[in-house]
Amino acid sequence: EIVMTQSPATLSVSPGERATLSCRASQSVTSNLAWYQQKPGQAPRLLIYGASTRATLIPARFSGSGSGTEFTLTISSLQSEDFAVYYCQQYNNWPPLTFGGGTKVEIK
């Protein structure tokens, strides 16, 4: 099973600042990695797939990078609606499909 590790667990950022979230895989997942955003009481929303491709209607301030075992989600200028929990997920080696433990982005 591929273990996905996200860091940090919590990220405190001021509105307008850049946020950088990390996701590490225990073995290579090539570019088969997705990022999700989840707000309290809501279902997750797909942000990025294929490590760097934005999903439909996702703003350009969200970008993904990386391949192999190291991945990054960058939010270039945090808006109030971006404060949420973010998860990465690998779909290269399955079953099982696996998620990271999440990074909570909170207001500083």
Partner 1 sequence: EVQLAESGGGLVKPGGSLRLSCAASGFTFSSSTMNWVRQAPGKGLEWVSSITGSNSYIYYADSVKGRFTISRDNAKNSLYLQMNSLRTEDTAVYYCARSGLGPEIGDFDYWGQGTLVTVSS
* Enclosing H/E stretch for 47: strand 45-49
Distance CA 45, CA 81 (A): 13
Residue with tokens 């001021």: 14
Q: Count of residues binding partner 1 (CB under 8 A)?
A: 23
Our finding on whether 22 is near partner 1 (CB under 8 A) is no
Question: Cα Rg for the chain, rounded, in angstroms?
Answer: 13
Least gap, CB of 77 to partner 1 (angstroms)? 25
Least gap, CB of 10 to partner 1 (angstroms)? 14
- Which residues of this protein are in contact with partner 1, per CB under 8 A? 32, 34, 36, 38, 43-46, 49, 55-56, 87, 89, 91, 94-102
